[in-house]
Structure 1
Amino acid sequence: MSTAAATKPVAVPRPSASLVVLNPRNEILFVQRNPEARSFGGVHVFPGGNFDKAHDDSLADTAIRETFEEAGLLFASRSGSAAAFPDNATLDEARKAIHANQTPWKEFLGKYQLKADTAALLPFTQWITPKFATRRFQTQFFITFLDPSADFSSGHKEERLPTPDGGLEVLSARFLHPDDALSMFAAREITLMPPQFYIIRTLADVIASGRPLRDQVERLARGAFGKQVINPARFVPPEGLEKGVTVLTYEGDETRGGPKGRLHRAVVKMDKAGVTTELRLLRNFDIFTDLDAPSTSSKL
């Protein structure tokens, strides 16, 4: 067999979206994927999924719909003459029907005169699964905030307390402070993937700075950070790597066109089963002031 015939074709990334939800206590909404899931089984992630043209007009729609399906939080506002939100029982029934493709997302919104709050979502990096992966995604991460209301159901929109989806895709839905999530990962109580770790680490660093989180998140989202398209590439340093360790470089790293000495990479350690056990983010520049404009040459 020729080398060309034996070469496995590179999978085309599927467009997808994920939503980072921050509550007033600076905690992030996580869902734990079902271990039997085809992708990211057992891993703690932000709610999200694949773009579906039968449901979605945009990736922001995808993020909101998937967050409703997986965690029960509905980022939508009343529109038209709607007097009130559907009650919880109605929302639970709709959630299951949308997930099962029995009710189109847009039909659900129209029936109850709701409008998805896409304007409340801010871009917070985009990630492309590396070429060596069997299943690949091009995921737009968004970030948004829960209003500081006691029951999450006042005002003009409803944001229900998160609940898992009965094991269809996720086993749990809960808020964790970034520091707690990183500590739990270090103790191997939860598993994280590099994109989620990158975002959690970023938020933890901003919180540690003592500056108001919401102001700084909005600044990042509206600047070069939020527009980043990160296409990780494997890198083997001249001295080699120990077994089970992978180095993933990101755009702007000195090996990816950045200035000499600039590090924008992750050191990933996995066990024999391929589960990530350790992640270290090496990023030695200021993401507010030193991040170059996003590259337009990130290839799939």
Structure 2
Amino acid sequence: MNVTLTHWREAASLIVAAALRGAQAVLKHSHGSGLEVQTRLPQNTFDYRTLLLQRSPMSSFLPNAHVFPGGLVDAADFSNRWLNVFKSHAQKPNFGLPLVKQDLSTRCPIFLTDRTKFGSLVPGEVAFRICAIRETFEESGILLVVPESCDTNSSQPLTKVADYDHEELARWRLKVQSDPAHFLQMCTELGCMPNIWALHEWGNWLTPAISQNEKKRRYDTAFFICCLEEKPHTIDDQKEITSFKWLTPPEAIELWRAQKIRLAPPQFYELSRMCHFSSLSELHRFNIDRASEGCERWLPVILIASDGFMQLLPGDELYPEEPDWTGEMPILSVDKKREDLRKKDSKLHRIEHQDHQVIVYMNIVPNYKHISPLITDPKDEAHCNSRL
């Protein structure tokens, strides 16, 4: 772990997309209360669902919000004992993960930091994948591992979830929830490895400083994505997570618009990106082809306007040359309306907020061969590059 960080806590999050079998499959969404809502999947539409977990109302960070699985990195994720678990891959650069072509001068510090100076021989790109897999197991019961003898790579087809006895996994899950170090012990005793090759680099979001209280809970989060060949057995933990939903990206956004679920800006933005892909195979191929390009480190900068506020993202013409990384500067504000800040020919990359309405404006080309969010704003499409 990077014990020198003052303003950030490192974390990892995993976007899980799972295929449905049959064009008329019936979905069952758990609501934690024992009730289920069934939605019939129409013909010629999305053939996969994305996992969203509802955080407990008692959570100090994003209470009640629907989020992707994930959480804080633990020292055990960087344990040198993982070298024994990955013994057939540990001698390869990054344990056999594809090399990222991104220039080191622009590489995200969460991946670039030399962990050997903290005593770990596990590269950050490996450890944060271990963290994402462990947290997904803790929060949803989904275990993404492969046999320790498996000769795998990141160009593999859709991932298959390991088939273990549910009762045995439930016992291990309780142990891992009590102490993340048990995840390493579990992999050792089961003779398996976290399937780090099934996770593809997707993004890197930092928490903006919205208020004085939020400054104590700011996260530097690596986002990965994994495509599964079928929807796995999922069960919430009734602790940090109170319920879950498997939804298409458009379904999630429509539920959010109807104020039936709460999405944080990163989830809203990334789900909007996924709306471009109605086919899981297309999404998976995009991930494989794009991940080696790397990604940007995004620190949203809050700008308060007279009729709402916005989160400025890199590339926006109002994004400061030196953003406030420490959260010690006052929040930016202007005495103008949001519309007035969208001038003709402006370079826009922002998430605007007013009451319960959130809109992404983006008219710049994404870096690292990524894809723009599929944007919807029925009142103003002039500044959007596509419409949902």
Give, in whole Å, the separation in 2 of the partners of 1:97 and 1:290.
40
Q: Which letter maps to 1:279?
A: V
| Aligned-partner Cα distance in 1 for 2:78–2:247 | 29
| One-letter amino acid of the counterpart of residue 173, structure 1 | F
What are the equivalent positions in structure 2 for 1:1-300 lying under 5 Å apart?
12-24=7-19, 25-56=47-78, 58-80=127-149, 86-101=164-179, 104-132=182-210, 133-134=214-215, 135-148=217-230, 160-165=232-237, 167-207=238-278, 212-223=282-293, 227-236=295-304, 240-242=305-307, 245-256=308-319, 261-270=346-355, 277-287=356-366
AA aligned to 1:65 is R
What TM-score do the two structures reach when normalised by structure 1? 0.77
3-state SS in 2 of match to 1:190: coil
What is the rounded CA distance, in whole Å, between the counterparts of 1:218 and 1:280 in structure 2?
A: 29
SS of 2:58's partner is coil
Change (3 A) 1:125 1:38: same
1:12 counterpart letter in structure 2? H
Query: CA separation in 2, counterparts of 1:121 and 1:75?
Result: 10
Change (3 A) 1:77 1:13: same
State the superposition RMSD in angstroms: 2.8
- Find the aligned partners of 2:65 and 2:146 in 1 and give their Cα distance: 31
Deviation at 1:256, TM superposition (A): 2.5
Shift of 1:284: 1.3
Secondary structure (helix, strand or coil) at the match of 2:188 reads helix
Task: Please report how far the alpha carbon of residue 75 of structure 1 lies from its aligned counterpart in structure 2 after TM superposition.
Answer: 0.5
Q: Distance in 2 between matches of 1:289 and 1:138?
A: 19
Structure 1: which 5+ residue stretches go unaligned? 1-9, 153-159, 271-276, 292-300
Q: After TM superposition, give the deviation of residue 55 of structure 1 in Å.
A: 4.1
For structure 2, the 5+ residue unaligned runs are 20-46, 80-126, 151-161, 322-344, 371-388
Matches of 1:205 and 1:280 in 2, distance apart? 17
Count of matched residue pairs? 255
Moved over 4 A (4+): 288-291
Distance 1:218 1:284, change over 3 A: farther
Change (3 A) 1:85 1:290: closer
